[in-house]
Amino acid sequence: MKITSFEQYEQAYKQSVEQPEQFWADVADNFTWKKKWDNVLQWNFKDPDVKWFSGAKLNITENCLDRHLEKNADTPAIIWEPNDPTEDFRILTYKQLHDKVCQFANVLKNNGAKKGDRICIYMPMVPELAIAVLACARIGAIHSVVFGGFSAQSIADRIKDADCNIVITSDGAYRGNKDIQMKNVIDDALVQCPSVKRTIVLTRSRTAVSMIKGRDVWWEDEIKKVETQGNPECPAEEMDAEDMLFILYTSGSTGKPKGVVHTCGGYMVYAGYTFANVFQYNPGEVYFCTADIGWITGHSYIVYGPLSQGATTLMFEGVPTYPDAGRLWDIVAKHNVNILYTAPTAIRSLMGFGLDYVKDKDLSTLKKLGSVGEPINEEAWHWLDDHIGHNKCPIVDTWWQTETGGIMITPIAGVTPTKPGYATLPLPGIQPVLVDENGKEIEGNGVNGNLCIKFPWPGILRTTYGDHERCRTTYFATYDNLYFTGDGCLRDDDGYYRITGRVDDVLNVSGHRIGTAEVENAINMHSSVVESAVVGYPHDIKGQGVYAYVVIPDMHDSPDLTRKDIIMTVSRIIGPIAKPDKIQFVSGLPKTRSGKIMRRILRKIAEGDTSNLGDTSTLLDPAVVEEIKQGALK
Ligand code: PRX
């Protein structure tokens, strides 16, 4: 399954296009199946209907845990580094992790969980989060992990959409110098969620929480019950390859976030295959991904990908700037990290603190570096290369999405020649095409277009939970027979791919996907707001910042106070991650005669480029543009 030279890459790529079923069957043979498949692939992108390995039976946790026990029971599976560097770190070997997953799977069963149930997980980055995720998979329950930065309202929306019956959370969480009240947030969410019959609460910060009789139980008490029952094993539920494994919500250009659905067989194969290849993982190496398990990167490249390959994965509870901006490098030195997978926004933020935080750190164990989540600017790429990798570590700039399940376009570490800012070449099995607005394929090199994929891969999303039509219209209806990514892309003269950013109304703020419509809806909830329009603008650290144009005809307080109120409203409706960076009050928005907001103009003004706003003659009220230009925020 592992490609170790560029010649092998080229051969594998060719085979994957000419004989895709054979190619993927060979990859899938590296995993443990309770029963092999009847068909490798059945598909059409019209409905869409994609099935990988149908007829096969498996449980992903047998691949992530049980199969490593014979030879690698004592290999560290998870190294956990706490938020506070003076607190003890933890190591869980494969045997220990297996036992804890079985134990918690039995807790879930004792609390009424069954195969097919949807379970919401809202937890800090502690090993118990990975244990909870795997325990769901063990019994065939579908997990829906919600990132800790989302509000009660966002959690409630997700719980209701998936009709979850159990929530797993913790009393509180530590992140940097913040103490976050997680259970309180869940309590607020659950006011709206009668479907939830049980909340299991882990003790982390032992902050005071309300515990409702009949609904809320402590994780630790439930573990004790399982121990006294004397039944440490939990057999892995037999799952069909196409049974749902998890739902993960992500933002699009319209409406509320949608629940991207991944299934057991294909997702497992794709997460494992990409992890082994992209990072060229070798046994004994320590791999550290700085993402949160609340995002797809954490699902695929902290939990499922590394564990399916028997790797040692490091989980970090805190943030890169606590207690100071040298924290990531301290972790690398403390745990002898060999592979570091992080995000451009983290790199740019650490660059800003200067080299003092890097210069005395022992980074000699590092062998490979990775980047994900947004385009990496050349300056950040070179900083990583020079000061962290000391020009000896290949950097893999990995392009992919929640919907793709795993990495799609990327260098293979040490195999693919890299170029700063370029995700380089598609992995074997991935067939990217660039198309123009009419869906016509743009062939050849030195071209720009909208990035689509023309053939399925095992990690492709199967549906959006509860709304298959939305999946079809969002991804498969823009262009016939193509999966549309929403990204713009350049293919240079060497055939290398460079992702240029979203071409739809989706923002990428610090690597987090945020829909402009979602933020607008939240701003419009503020009692004085009549209307708003949100666009992105270039931000030195976040990549993109959130710029909001807001119409308030009758402002009761000072503009400053009103801005704070709007920010608070957005925090409460979506979560702190969606807070606008800039709010400009305007008397009206530039609209066409049919009432459509001209976002192109607003984007240009937010970017500070007011010289050429293009044709404004079709606007209902061209004067408003002048006013907005004059009041633009720097
Ligand atoms: O615009 C692309 C950007 O992030 C989007 C996907 O976001 P999400 O589903 O949250 O997943 C993020 C982690 C995989 C993409 O549509 N993106 C992701 N990786 C890159 C990137 N843009 C440029 N270069 C990348 N390496």
Residue 618: band (very low, low, confident or very high) from pLDDT cuts 50, 70, 90:
confident
Q: What ipTM, to 2 d.p.?
A: 0.99
Q: What is the per-residue pLDDT for 546?
A: 98
Q: What is the per-residue pLDDT for 620?
A: 87
335 in contact with ligand 1, CB cutoff 6 A: no
What are the DSSP calls for 303-336, one per residue? Answer: IIHHHHTT-EEEEE-S-TTSSSTTHHHHHHHHHT
Q: What percent of the chain has pLDDT over 90?
A: 95
pLDDT greater at residue 2 or residue 611: 2
pLDDT reading at 611 higher than 90? no
Distance 400 CA to ligand 1 centre (A): 5
Directed axis angle between helix 152-162 and helix 559-573, to 10°? 30
423 in contact with ligand 1, CB cutoff 6 A: yes
Residue 367: band (very low, low, confident or very high) from pLDDT cuts 50, 70, 90:
very high
Whole-prediction pTM value? 0.97
Q: Looking at this protein, which amino acid is placed at residue 478?
A: T
Residue 315: band (very low, low, confident or very high) from pLDDT cuts 50, 70, 90:
very high
Mean pLDDT, rounded, for 45-72:
98
Mean pLDDT, rounded, for 70-85:
98
450 in contact with ligand 1, CB cutoff 6 A: no
Mean pLDDT, rounded, for 78-101:
98
- Spatial distance between the Cα atoms of 570 and 526, rounded to a whole number of angstroms: 9
Q: What is the per-residue pLDDT for 231?
A: 79
424 in contact with ligand 1, CB cutoff 6 A: no
Distance 483 CA to ligand 1 centre (A): 15
- Spatial distance between the Cα atoms of 384 and 120, rounded to a whole number of angstroms: 36
Instruction: Name residue 502's beta-bridge partners.
Output: 487
| Model pLDDT for residues 172-222, shown as the tens digit of each residue | 999 999 999 999 999 999 999 999 999 999 999 999 999 999 999 999 999
Mean pLDDT, rounded, for 27-44:
98
375 in contact with ligand 1, CB cutoff 6 A: yes
For the chain, give the mean pLDDT.
Answer: 97
- Spatial distance between the Cα atoms of 558 and 599, rounded to a whole number of angstroms: 27
- Spatial distance between the Cα atoms of 95 and 73, rounded to a whole number of angstroms: 5
Distance 372 CA to ligand 1 centre (A): 7
Token readout for 515 is 């829909």
Distance 430 CA to ligand 1 centre (A): 16
pLDDT reading at 612 higher than 90? no
